[in-house]
Structure 1
Amino acid sequence: MELEVCELAPSDWQRMPISAVCERFTSGGTPSRKVPEYFTGLIPWVKTQELTDGLLQDTDEHVTEAAVAASSAKLLPPNTVLMAMYGATVGQLAVLARSMTCNQACAAMVVDSKKADYRFLYYQLLAARQQIRSLSTGAAQQNLSGTQIKQFVLPFPHAELQTEIADPLWQLDRRIDLLRQTNATLEAIAQALFKSWFIDFDPVRAKAEGREPEGMDAATAALFPAEFEESALGLIPKGWKTGTFGDLAELAKGSVNPLTAPEEEFEHFSLPAFDAEQLPVFERGETIKSNKTRVPVGAVLHSKLNPHIPRVWLPSRIGAHAVCSTEFLPWVARRAASTELVYCALTGSAFEASVRALVTGTSNSHQRVKPDQVAALEMILAPVAVSDAFTRVVRPLLRRVGENRLTAKALAELRDSLLPRLVSGKLRLPEAQEQLEGAAA
Structure 2
Amino acid sequence: MAWEKVKLGDICAWVASGGTPLTSKADYYSPKEIPWLKTQEVNYCRIYETNNQISKKGLENSSAKLIPANAVIVAMYGQGDTAGRVAINKIPLCTNQACCNLVIDENKADYEFVYYNLCTLYDKLVSLKNGGAQPNLNAGLIKNLEISLPPLSTQKRIADILSAYDNLIENNQKQIKLLEEAAQRLYKQWFIDLRFPGHETTKIVDGLPEGWRKGSIGDIAEFKRGKVITKGDVVEGNVPVVAGGLEPAYYHNASFTESPVITVSGSGANAGFARMYFQKIWASDCSYVDSSATIFIYFVYSFLKENKKSLDSLQKGAAQPHVYAKDINALKLNCPPKDLLVKFEKSVKPLFDKIGKCQNVIEKSKDARDRLLPKLMSKKMEV
TM-score in same-fold range (> 0.5): yes
Question: CA 1:99/1:260 → structure 2, altered by over 3 Å: closer, same or farther?
Answer: closer
Q: Contact 2:212–2:335 (CA<8 Å) still a contact in 1?
A: yes
Q: Following the alignment from structure 2 to structure 1, what is the Cα–Cα distance between the partners of residues 69 and 231? A: 46
Match of 2:14 in 1: 24
Question: CA 1:93/1:185 → structure 2, altered by over 3 Å: closer, same or farther?
Answer: farther
Question: CA 1:69/1:331 → structure 2, altered by over 3 Å: closer, same or farther?
Answer: farther
Question: CA 1:31/1:360 → structure 2, altered by over 3 Å: closer, same or farther?
Answer: farther
Match of 2:280 in 1: 318
Q: CA RMSD in A?
A: 3.6
Could you tell me which amino acid in structure 2 is paired with residue 324 of structure 1?
Answer: S
Q: Contact 2:221–2:289 (CA<8 Å) still a contact in 1?
A: yes
Q: Which runs of 5 or more structure 2 residues have no equivalent in the other structure?
A: none
Match of 2:136 in 1: 143
Q: Contact 1:301–1:329 (CA<8 Å) still a contact in 2?
A: yes
Match of 2:165 in 1: 172
SS of corresponding position for 2:277: coil
SS of corresponding position for 1:380: strand
Is 2:214 the partner of 1:242?
yes
TM-score, L = length of structure 1 = 0.73
Percent of matched pairs sharing the same residue: 28
Q: Following the alignment from structure 1 to structure 2, what is the Cα–Cα distance between the partners of residues 251 and 116? A: 50
Q: Following the alignment from structure 2 to structure 1, what is the Cα–Cα distance between the partners of residues 23 and 326? A: 28
Q: Contact 2:264–2:287 (CA<8 Å) still a contact in 1?
A: yes
Would you tell me which structure has more helix in proportion to its own residues?
A: 1
Match of 1:209 in 2: none
Picking from 184, 195, 204, the partner of 1:229 is 204
Q: Contact 1:308–1:356 (CA<8 Å) still a contact in 2?
A: no
Q: Contact 1:39–1:61 (CA<8 Å) still a contact in 2?
A: no
Match of 1:44 in 2: 35
Cα offsets for 1:10-38 (capped at 9, x unmatched): 64x44322122222222334556667783
SS of corresponding position for 2:288: strand
Question: CA 1:20/1:310 → structure 2, altered by over 3 Å: closer, same or farther?
Answer: farther
Could you tell me which amino acid in structure 2 is paired with residue 23 of structure 1?
Answer: A
Query: Which segment drifts farther, 178-187 or 156-165?
Result: 156-165
Aligned residues: 380
Q: How does 1:52-67 map to 2 (within 5 A)?
A: 52-67=43-58
Q: Which runs of 5 or more structure 1 residues have no equivalent in the other structure?
A: 1-9, 205-220, 286-292, 430-441
Could you tell me which amino acid in structure 2 is paired with residue 397 of structure 1?
Answer: L
Q: Following the alignment from structure 2 to structure 1, what is the Cα–Cα distance between the partners of residues 251 and 129? A: 25
Cα offsets for 1:184-205 (capped at 9, x unmatched): 222222222222222233x25x
Q: Following the alignment from structure 2 to structure 1, what is the Cα–Cα distance between the partners of residues 150 and 345? A: 54
Match of 1:377 in 2: 331
Is 2:334 the partner of 1:402?
no
TM-score, L = length of structure 2 = 0.82
Q: Following the alignment from structure 2 to structure 1, what is the Cα–Cα distance between the partners of residues 369 and 145? A: 23
Instruction: Give the CA deviation at 1:262.
Output: 7.8
Is 2:229 the partner of 1:269?
no
Query: Which segment drifts farther, 252-261 or 109-118?
Result: 252-261
Match of 1:419 in 2: 373
Q: Contact 1:176–1:411 (CA<8 Å) still a contact in 2?
A: yes
Question: CA 1:262/1:421 → structure 2, altered by over 3 Å: closer, same or farther?
Answer: closer
Query: Which segment drifts farther, 68-77 or 107-116?
Result: 68-77
Match of 1:438 in 2: none
Q: Following the alignment from structure 2 to structure 1, what is the Cα–Cα distance between the partners of residues 220 and 95? A: 38
Is 2:251 the partner of 1:251?
no
Could you tell me which amino acid in structure 2 is paired with residue 17 of structure 1?
Answer: K
